[in-house]
């Protein structure tokens, strides 16, 4: 579905896996976590047990690397004998810190595209997760000066998008949401009356997985520079 670019005055972006790499590092951490349960659970079962802990903890710990670290600790405690837990806990804490402190790696063409769009559109970021972690990534990305608004939320739903549009002084139909998650970025924004551009990522957390509709009510792009080709 093509965008109606003439209506758009505000372009809002997801952050993780839309502007910079993120999920692939969680997959690497999962694989290293599974090694800690070697001899107790096969790797796929260890990762499944970790995912279940994440789902059980979402309402308590929310999203992000800190929540992920706590879920790794909980899963290890559930399966490891006491004599292996001390070393495992140290490894898990190191994995969590590594996720949090990893340098931001922008996806191809992101900075150039945002600089191009900033000349014609008002830009914003809406991302979910741990406040301190997301603030750090935004600052370290070097992209912060390009955005008029940044909003870090506990979850992405239509109410969160409406609140962002109010802060921007924009009607939903004037807004375009760009992101890699149909569940969090695309469908909730569409529900408000905004337009959307879907940028699939090769790495997706299973919690965010949704099937694509046959006749999608959004634009599908392969990279962020493709969006500039449509809007400019």
- 10-residue block means of pLDDT along the chain (232 residues)? 85 98 97 97 97 96 95 98 96 97 96 95 95 95 96 95 95 97 97 97 91 92 94 90
Distance of CA 147 to the CA centre of its chain: 17
C-alpha 135/C-alpha 130 separation (Å) is 8
To 10 degrees, what angle do helices 82-101 and 65-79 make?
Answer: 170
* Residue 38 CB contacts under 8 Å (≥ 6 apart), including other chains: none
C-alpha 34/C-alpha 31 separation (Å) is 5
E strands, 45-161, are 122-128, 149-153
Specify the pLDDT at position 32: 97
User: What's phi and psi for 219, nearest 5 deg?
Assistant: -85, 135
What's the pTM value of the predicted model, to 2 decimals? 0.94
- Which helix (DSSP H) or strand (DSSP E) does residue 72 occupy? helix 65-79
Give DSSP secondary structure letters for 177-197. Answer: EEES-IIIIIHHHHHHT-EEE
C-alpha 73/C-alpha 89 separation (Å) is 6
What is the sign, positive or negative, of the torsion defined by CA atoms of 160, 165, 167, 171? negative
Distance of CA 35 to the CA centre of its chain: 26
Specify the pLDDT at position 1: 61
């Amino acid at each position: 579905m093509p965008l109606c670019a003439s209506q758009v005055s505000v372009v809002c972006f997801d952050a993780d896996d839309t502007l910079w790499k993120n999920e692939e590092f969680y997959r690497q951490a999962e694989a290293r976590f599974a090694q800690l349960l070697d001899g107790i659970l096969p790797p796929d079962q260890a990762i499944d047990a970790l995912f279940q802990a994440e789902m059980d903890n979402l309402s308590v710990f929310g999203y992000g690397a800190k929540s992920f670290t706590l879920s790794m600790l909980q899963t290890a405690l559930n399966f490891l004998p006491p004599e292996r837990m001390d070393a495992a806990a140290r490894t898990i804490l190191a994995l969590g810190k590594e996720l949090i402190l990893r340098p931001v790696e922008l996806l191809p063409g992101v900075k150039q595209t945002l600089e191009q769009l900033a000349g014609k559109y008002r830009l914003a970021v809406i991302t979910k997760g741990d406040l301190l972690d997301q603030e750090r990534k935004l600052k370290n990305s070097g992209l912060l000066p390009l955005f008029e608004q940044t909003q870090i939320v506990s979850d992405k739903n239509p109410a969160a998008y409406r609140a962002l549009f109010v802060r921007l002084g924009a009607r939903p139909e004037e807004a375009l949401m760009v992101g890699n998650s149909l569940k969090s970025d695309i469908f909730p924004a569409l529900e408000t009356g905004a337009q959307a551009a879907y940028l699939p990522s090769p790495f997706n957390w299973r919690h965010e997985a949704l099937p694509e509709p046959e006749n999608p009510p959004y634009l599908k792009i392969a990279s962020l520079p493709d969006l500039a080709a449509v809007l400019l």
